[in-house]
Amino acid sequence: MLVHRLADFLASVPLFSRLSTDERRGFAALSREQRYPRGALIVRQGDPGDALYVVRSGTVKVAIVGDDGREVILDTLGQGAHFGELALIDGRPRSAHVVAVDPAVLLVLRREDFRREVERQPRVAWALLEELSRRLRDADEKITGLVLLDVPGRVARLLLDRAAGTPPTIDRAPTHEMIAQMIGASRETVSRAMRELQDTGLIGVERRTVRVLDVEGLTRRSRPGGTPPRAARNARAEARAEETTSEEAAPEDGGAIETSDTSSAHE
């Protein structure tokens, strides 16, 4: 019965979706299920690349850690996503860490079993090539964004990539800290960018839910050369005017009254 359930689940995974039910059962029979608590290290950078992992439930993050301890998140993966494809081809060590963001259940398929099954079902090999091509294109877009976009533009692109439905919504949006690690910015800068996108009416935020209110405007903001809308410039001008007023109203000794830093609100 477990094999049948796993085969049904694999039908939702792009890598296996084109296979027949019997062909998916062949892969399901070779898979084993593993559970990981929140924060568990699933794969360590440099470990042997000996398996493919498919996320059955939960969320994991793919990250690298610099010599200075700074973490950069390359991607977050949810149900139906998979990682370890490169290891299936070249068997080289893992290129990044993978950590459970939430309690996660993964299907693990050993490299030798996968390759043997692919020899019987070449359609999977073609699906694997398509997946690797898609990820290469995604990597090119991320590099372009890091080079050509300011932080609000990078945040806008990330939100558009993750939003789904009508209106486009992210139900469990990444924290500002996680977004910062994904786009190569500080948490404070991300918080200011999120406020800019809210103040200009492009997005609405309530707790961990983000709704895209103006798809066209957010798309424009996510493109190289996209300039902040006039409302954003007006908001910044008003903020500067308020700061000037506060400074003029402060006592001459400068120590009796502390003015609040509006850039850190709601972080």
User: What is the phi/psi pair of residue 58, to 5°?
Assistant: 90, -170
Cα 202 to Cα 85, 210, 217, 219, 226, distances in angstroms: 36, 10, 6, 9, 14
Q: Specify the pLDDT at position 126.
A: 85
Residue 255 pLDDT level (bands cut at 50, 70, 90): very low
Q: Do the Cβ atoms of 41 and 96 come closer than 8 Å?
A: no
Q: Specify the pLDDT at position 227.
A: 61
Q: How many CA atoms lie within 13 A of 240 on its CB side?
A: 6
User: Is residue 263 over pLDDT 50?
Assistant: no
In the chain the domains, ranked by start, together with CATH numbers, are 2-146 (2.60.120.10), 149-264 (1.10.10.10)
pLDDT digits (tens, 9 = 90+) for 184-229: 899 999 999 999 999 999 999 998 899 999 999 999 999 887 665 5
Residue 237 pLDDT level (bands cut at 50, 70, 90): very low
pLDDT digits (tens, 9 = 90+) for 148-198: 899 999 999 999 999 999 989 999 899 999 999 999 899 999 999 999 999
3-state SS, one letter per residue, for the chain: CHHHHHHHHHCCCCCCCCCCHHHHHHHHHHCEEEEECCCCEEECCCCCCCEEEEEEECCEEEEEECCCCCEEEEEEECCCCEECHHHHHHCCCCCCEEEECCCEEEEEEEHHHHHHHHHHCCHHHHHHHHHHHHHHHHHHHHHHHHHHCCHHHHHHHHHHHHCECCCCEECCCCCHHHHHHHHCCCHHHHHHHHHHHHHCCCEEEECCEEEECCHHHHHHHCCCCCCCCHHHHHHHHHHHHHHHHHHHHCCCCCCCCCCCCHHHCCC
What's the pTM value of the predicted model, to 2 decimals?
A: 0.71
